Amino acid sequence: MKHQIRHLKRRDRKLAKVIEKINLEPLMKTNNHFRHLVESIISQQLSVKAADTITTRFIKLFAKKKIAKFPTPKDILKTRKNVLRSAGISGQKASYIRNIARAKIDFKKIKQMGDEEVIVELTKIKGIGRWTAEMFLMFSLQRDDVFSCGDLGLLNGMKKVYGLRKHPSRRQVEKITAKWKPYRTLAARYLWASLDNNG
């Protein structure tokens, strides 16, 4: 991570100022890629707090002997949609989660694919759009060079860091992010963090 930080600071002075103020922790390794996709669906268009509450309720639906662990695809498919909804999940999201469980995703195969190939493969499943696939690449597979051009938080971060009057255009985004390659994922994490930093 130190090498990536040095690269970003060297390539972009404005981002360097953000990096100086924020202490980012390295991402924790994850092997439960199915869980990440399900949680991404739950968190769509929700605040972090609301998403965490619903995710906790969702996991508790599958608790056995008071031990709550994340359900397997089989667990989810054996559970009625109205039971999933009782955790606070919308009917549409419950359908999407069941679609993911039904898809029998080969995560070993997914790991061997390039970034765009992963996006194409995952977006074949109804309920997974480009944004969800990009978040999966960034946080579950932990790919180094992913940037979600359609993420509102990242656009807000760019607007703040670069002193723009409005959200950057796609062309502006591509021009700015080109400087960060091949570590756009870390740059994105700093942009998100900048929104919580008043400096």
Neighbours of 111 (CB within 10 A): 11
Specify the amino acid at residue 112: Q
Q: Which residues contact 33 (CB under 8 A, 6 or more apart)?
A: 105, 107, 110, 136, 140, 141
Query: What CA–CA distance (Å, rounded) separates 111 from 122?
Result: 12
- Report which residue type is found at 150: G
Looking at 75, 115, 151, 196, which residue is catalytic?
151
Burial class (CB in 10 A: 0-12, 13-18, 19+), 45: exposed
**What is the Cα–Cα distance from 6 to 183, expressed in whole angstroms?**
11
The burial class, CB within 10 Å (0-12 / 13-18 / 19+), for 137 is: buried
151 catalytic per annotation: yes
Distance CA 144, CA 178 (A): 14
Positions marked active-site: 151
